[in-house]
Amino acid sequence: MFSYADRTTERLKGNFVALSMHKFCSNVVEKILHNASIGKVRDIINEIVEDPNVLELFEDCYGNFVIQKALTTTAKVNLSLNYLKKNPLSASYIYF
């Protein structure tokens, strides 16, 4: 079952960098990063990182917050995955 964040991610695909530099849309992108599934978060971050204008986000007053949220989200996901990979009961289910 898809969450609202996953459905919204599909509709906004290809526009995350531009949306991240808008006052109100940047809040939406941050909420999506917080609430979307791991796969969708990866898709968003890949889209942002591969965009030729990604450096503008670091300097933008709203985009900077999106970058910070992306970094904290990936750090939490990586910590969770590392824990699951070390746990013998769940290690066989982790493929990436």
pLDDT band for 79, please (50, 70, 90 cuts): low
Number of domains in the chain: 1
Helices (H), 1-96: 4-12, 16-20, 25-35, 38-50, 54-59, 63-86
Domain that holds residue 17: 4-93
Task: Write the single-letter amino acid at 49.
Answer: V
pLDDT in tens, 80-96: 556 556 666 555 555 54
Among 96, 62, 65, residue whose Cα is nearest residue 82: 96
Name, in order, each residue with C-beta under 8 angstroms of 9's C-beta and a sequence gap of 6 or more.
32, 36, 40, 43, 44
pLDDT in tens, 12-50: 999 999 999 999 999 999 999 999 988 898 899 889 888
